Structure formats: C-alpha cells, structure tokens
C-alpha cells in the first residue's frame, strides 16, 4: 500500500477533529478543502483495492453503502439538532443526489468513455432493473407526498410514512440480493470488454481489510469536512443571492466526489458497467437507506418531514427517468448520450441558481 494512501485519510480525519475545536479562519478553510480533495483521492484508491479483491459488483456496493450510511447519519443528526428548519433537508439531498448521479456522473462517464474508446457496451437487463427500482423509490418517496390528502402540504401521514419507509427497505434489499446473489451476472461487464485489472492478482485479505478501514476513515473525513465547509458555502450563496436549495446541491456534490471519481476512472479504463454499478448503487442506497432513517427520526421526535417535490423538480425527475431509460435500452454508450445527460445536468444547476 502506498504511504500516501495510508496517511492521507488519517491526516484528513485528524484535521476534521481539529477544525471542530479550533476557531474558524481562511487558512483553516483552505486547508480543509485540500484535505477534502486528498481524502477523496485516497477513498477512490482504497475502493479500487476492495473492488479488485471482491470483484464486481461487490466493490461498487461497498463504496456506495459506506458513503451513504455516513451521509444518512449526518442528515439524522441535523434533523435532531435543527428541528423544523430542516424539514426539507432529506428531500433536497435525495433529489440532488439523483440529479447529480443520473445526469452528471453517468453523463460524464458516457462522454469520457466514448472519447477514450469510441463506443462502450454494457448489459441492458441489470441496469434496467436498477433504473426501475430507482424510479419506483423516487416516486413513492418524492412524488406521491405532494398528492396525498391525509396530511397538509407535501407531507405523508404517519401510516403513509411508515409504508414508504418499509417499501424503500424492501425494494433496496431485494435489489441488493438480486445484484449480489440471485442474478449477479446481470451486473458484470461483457466478456469481451477490456479490464485492466483482469490480469493482476487480487490483493491479500489483510491488505483488503486495511483498505476497508482506511476507506471508512476517508469517507468520514470527506462527509465531515463537506458539512464543516457548509457554513462557508452558505455565506457564498447568501452573498450571491442564490436560493437556499443551492446549499444542498453544493454539499451533495462534495459528498459524492469519491463515487464520481471512481466511476470516471472506471469509464476511462473501459469498464463502463463498473461506473454504472457505482452510480446506480449510490442513488438506490441514497433513497433506500435515507427514507427509513429520516421517517423513524421524524416520528420519534415529532419533527415535520416535507418530502413532496415542487412541479419543476418533478419535471426534471420525469425527464431524467425517460432519458436514462433510453440510454440503458440502447446497451451502448456514445458521445451523444453523454451530451444529453450533461445538458440536463447543466439545466438542473442553472435553474437551481436561477429558479
């Protein structure tokens, strides 16, 4: 294991602890940004070590579940301390993650992979199953609350929220079972696709466990530093006169950096299916783990939870679902598909700033 890969996560975590007790300053903020980027690079390295040891799609699933679990813990902590002021935080975070992953990350992977390899082939059936699960989860969690009448506003009644939480867990758990046990072959790269790791021996078990521990430390540092930098982001947003939802998008972009970087590296190495496993696994975990956690927290402490999207966000969700379905049905990644996803992502960012 390279020395930098061992020391960077520990140094970033130590800086996170120090930043929590030290008074804020410009120098500290710049150092935190540098530590955040270093932790992202280290996280990607350790994720690739684990992925090479476990094989696909287990490696992608480990990274997605790890970072989502930490993010969920932070959202719940903010709900416990922020009260009604954070009623829309889970909704904004989940929606931002879907837009970033399905348009930004997948679009970049398609474009970068196509520029490097002209055209990339990926299996249709596994990705279609993942997209069907994602659309069902997003509709149950983010769309239907805006149309129910048992509670005021874009909220669920307690019984409806319980059903949505259980349905989210059921769908996500079933997908993980299908992806890793029942139909694992649906999520493997095509046999004729180049794989730069196929001819190298897997790392030893001890090294894989060490990478798993350092990956967890690096992800804690990434998410913690991203949240720590959020007041600075809020100040910039306020100074620019941008909407408050911009903050959720900016934080989501920072938190998803490790997965986005790992997905791009896989696309450049002609492993587009690995990129899709990372992206879709992250989006599914974001809903499947977040909704049950925030639903339980909301009912436990009596904090309102606004889940229903506005009309503009629903249009973006529908457009994203249709375009992603067309992309997956084709089974081939090329420049045009990447450009379409990235234009939608650009429109999402622009209309977030200029609603």
**CATH at residue 89:** 1.20.1420.30
CA-to-CA distance for 62 and 170, rounded, in angstroms?
Answer: 19
Range of the domain at 215: 3-353
Name which of 128, 143, 134 is nearest 172 in CA terms.
134
CA-to-CA distance for 353 and 146, rounded, in angstroms?
Answer: 23
Report the length, in residues, of the chain: 355
In this structure, which long-range contacts are made by residues 204-208, counting pairs with CB atoms below 8 Å and at least 24 apart in sequence? 205/53, 207/1, 207/49, 207/53, 208/49, 208/50, 208/53, 208/54
The whole-number pLDDT of residue 136 equals 95
Instruction: Give pTM, 2 decimals.
Output: 0.83
The whole-number pLDDT of residue 247 equals 76
Q: Please measure the distance between the N-terminal and C-terminal CA atoms of the chain and give it in whole angstroms.
A: 47
pLDDT, tens digit, for every residue of 49-108? Answer: 887 777 766 767 777 777 777 777 777 777 776 666 678 888 988 999 999 999 999 999
The answer to whether the CB of 155 falls within 8 A of the CB of 295 is: no
The whole-number pLDDT of residue 200 equals 58
The whole-number pLDDT of residue 82 equals 64
Mark the ranges of the chain whose per-residue pLDDT is less than 70: 56-57, 59, 81-85, 191-201
Q: Give the number of domains in the chain.
A: 1
CA-to-CA distance for 344 and 140, rounded, in angstroms?
Answer: 23
């Amino acid at each position: 294991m390279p020395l930098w890969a061992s020391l960077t996560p520990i140094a970033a975590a130590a800086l996170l602890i120090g930043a929590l007790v030290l008074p804020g300053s410009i120098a500290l903020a710049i150092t935190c940004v540098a530590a955040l980027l270093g932790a992202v690079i280290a996280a990607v390295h350790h994720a690739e070590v684990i992925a090479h040891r476990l094989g696909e799609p287990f490696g992608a699933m480990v990274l997605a579940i790890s970072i989502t679990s930490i993010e969920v813990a932070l959202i719940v902590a903010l709900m416990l301390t922020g009260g009604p002021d954070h009623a829309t935080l889970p909704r904004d975070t989940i929606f931002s993650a879907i837009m970033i992953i399905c348009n930004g990350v997948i679009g970049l992977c398609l474009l970068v992979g196509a520029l490097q390899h002209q055209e990339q082939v990926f299996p249709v059936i596994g990705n279609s199953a993942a997209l069907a699960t994602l659309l069902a989860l997003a509709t149950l969690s983010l769309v239907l609350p805006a149309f129910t009448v048992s509670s005021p506003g874009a909220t669920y009644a307690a019984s409806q929220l319980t059903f949505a939480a259980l349905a989210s867990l059921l769908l996500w758990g079933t997908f993980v079972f299908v992806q890793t046990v029942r139909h694992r072959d649906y999520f493997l790269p095509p046999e004729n696709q180049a794989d730069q790791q196929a001819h190298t021996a897997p790392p030893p078990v001890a090294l894989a466990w060490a990478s798993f521990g350092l990956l967890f430390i690096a992800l804690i540092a990434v998410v913690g530093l991203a949240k720590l930098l959020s007041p600075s982001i809020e100040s910039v947003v306020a100074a620019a006169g941008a909407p408050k939802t911009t903050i959720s998008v900016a934080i989501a972009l920072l938190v998803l950096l490790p997965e986005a970087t790992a997905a791009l590296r896989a696309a450049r190495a002609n492993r587009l299916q690995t990129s899709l496993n990372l992206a879709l696994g992250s989006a599914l975990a974001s809903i499947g783990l977040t909704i049950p956690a925030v639903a339980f927290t909301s009912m436990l402490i009596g904090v309102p939870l606004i889940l229903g999207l506005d009309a503009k966000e629903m249009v973006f969700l529908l457009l994203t679902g249709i375009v992603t379905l067309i992309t997956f049905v084709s089974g081939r990644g090329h420049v045009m598909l990447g450009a379409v996803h990235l234009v939608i992502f650009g429109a999402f960012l622009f209309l977030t700033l200029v609603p």
